[in-house]
Amino acid sequence: MSRARRGHDLETVIHRFSDDDLANLKPKQVFADKWIILKKLNKRNNSHCYQVCDKAVKNFGVLYLEQGVDNVTSIPLQVELLTKMYSNGYSHRFNQILDTGIINNSVYWMITRIRAGPTLKQLLECSENPGIISSKTASFIACDILSVIELLNSSSHVLRDFNAEQWKFDVQTRMFYLDDISDVGMSSDKRHLLIDEIHLKTARELNLSWKYTDCSSLKYAPCSFLINGSQMHQMTEFDEFEMLIYILYDLTRGELPWTHLKCQQTMLEMRRDFLTDIPNLKDLTDKKSPDYWFAMSLNNLAEHLKKAERVQDTLEKQAVRGGAWCPKGPRAPALLSIINYRRLIEDFQKIVRDGKPEYDIHWRDVALDWDKDADESQMRQIEKLELLRKSEELAEEWKRLEAIREHYEIMEEDGELEREKNRLSIDRFLKIKSGESMTPEESADIEKKLMEFKRKIELNRELKRAQKLKKTKLIQEIKMELDDPEYEGVSTSSAAPSTSSSDAYSQRLPHLPNLPEDVDDDDVEIQKDQNLPDDLKIDEKEIKQELPDDEFD
């Protein structure tokens, strides 16, 4: 098959995108006949990003566009990772894919869902000392970062950089998750290598080293990157572990000793000394303080890292079949990993709980540095907002129950009509079977009774709708017609004779909105709180005046 073919065999190539085309999509443009471009976002690695929503304006997401050949792009790896995490039940630790596809066998795209919540960078700026947090809050963050790193390594992936803007906080579950995985790459560890040719080519051609842009990006870089350089370095599980130690120290102390250095050799020596002896540990004497136990945890992390490296060197020298010392499988690296993630996470959870037992307080319920108590006016506004939302929920539930009740009333009326038909048919059948002949007058009388019964049902339905829409004049007219079958109102004076109930019904319809019998909820405008009790009705204008616009939205 020719490699110069245009697109897939079953694909019609309409436009051949260039990189400039991907970078200049216009707002309000429809992409892939599904998604509307809202605005352009900052470029992430080689991917052009846009904020999009579907045509129903219900789902919002981020569109990633990237050009590549033979699947050698970062987007297929991200799609594979997010799909695997979703199928394994770990989607709460990452983002979720809404849609994905390929255009012309060269343009790869995916859309990830936008989850509400602040980024880690925004939360750090909200602390009392911007950029510096307490040991308890840092331990809270460490638990979630360790969990994400464990899941990445168990699926043959590594995190090549740490960016506080890529981590988000879910306010409902109080959990940090990795929102943007553009800096996640395949692991170069031989335990994770796959036989698949595409993955091997992807692992060789994509950059798997630490993400280096300038000297400032060396802040959390591991020692192996400073030794091997960007051309030879490949991220491993131990590099991520070392990066975590630097991150936690920087968040609690304000800066690392080598933050302002530019000489990589000096930085390498300082990092080695740092891992050997964590600074400020000897200055802490109060063993009941969270700062003391946090410093001990950092020191234990460094010791655990050294021991894990020695153990892996020993295992790698063992002669085993296939050149790999760990079995294959989606959870093999995590189950047989030298690093004991569960034990480390439990140690940080104890720091968050101040050593209290698990049954006394859950570690996710502990107040963090950015958690602040609302004053009296804010609490009053929050209560009004909650009451407003509750009122809207009750109004929606009221509408739903009314629709169900109306549905069953119609079913009951139809059942009564069918029963009346059956009764009249049985009477006619019994007379004929007994040998009595039906005179034309009797047949006409039966038909008249049936039409009157049907007319009465239709009038009752019309009365309920008129009462719902508060049409006073029409209600009186329908009631008079129900009481006196011979009555003909103003609307039926020029219509057909009243013997036909459908004619009388159709003549009155112009007085009502054009509503079919199976009317939908969206066809009739009903005030949200018109059917609610008085104590649950909320004046939205009053709340809008008291609240700022951004809070109300």
Find the range with the poorest average confidence among 104-113, 313-322, 462-471. Answer: 313-322
Between 211 and 534, name the one with better pLDDT.
211
Identify the burial level of 482 via C-beta atoms within 10 angstroms of its C-beta, where 0-12 means exposed, 13-18 middle and 19 or more buried. Answer: middle
Residues 309-357: pLDDT tens digits? 887 777 666 655 444 445 444 444 444 567 888 888 988 998 998 878 7
Asked if residues 83 and 92 have their Cβ atoms less than 8 Å apart, the reply is: no
Across 103-112, 190-199, 229-238, 477-486, the highest mean pLDDT is recorded for 103-112
What local confidence, expressed as pLDDT, does residue 275 receive? 86
**Is a pLDDT exceeding 50 seen at residue 3?**
no
What local confidence, expressed as pLDDT, does residue 476 receive? 74
Q: pTM for this one?
A: 0.66
Find the range with the poorest average confidence among 16-20, 90-94, 454-458. Answer: 16-20
What local confidence, expressed as pLDDT, does residue 247 receive? 92
Q: What is the 3-state secondary structure (H, E, C) of 119-153?
A: EHHHHHHCCCECCECCHHHHHHHHHHHHHHHHHHH
Q: Name the average pLDDT for the chain.
A: 76
Identify the burial level of 20 via C-beta atoms within 10 angstroms of its C-beta, where 0-12 means exposed, 13-18 middle and 19 or more buried. Answer: exposed
Residues 161-196: pLDDT tens digits? 899 999 999 988 899 999 999 888 877 655 444 434
Asked if residues 63 and 115 have their Cβ atoms less than 8 Å apart, the reply is: no
d(CA 298, CA 293): 9
What local confidence, expressed as pLDDT, does residue 6 receive? 46
Question: Tokens 């897939």 sit at which residue?
Answer: 8
54, β-bridge pairs: 35
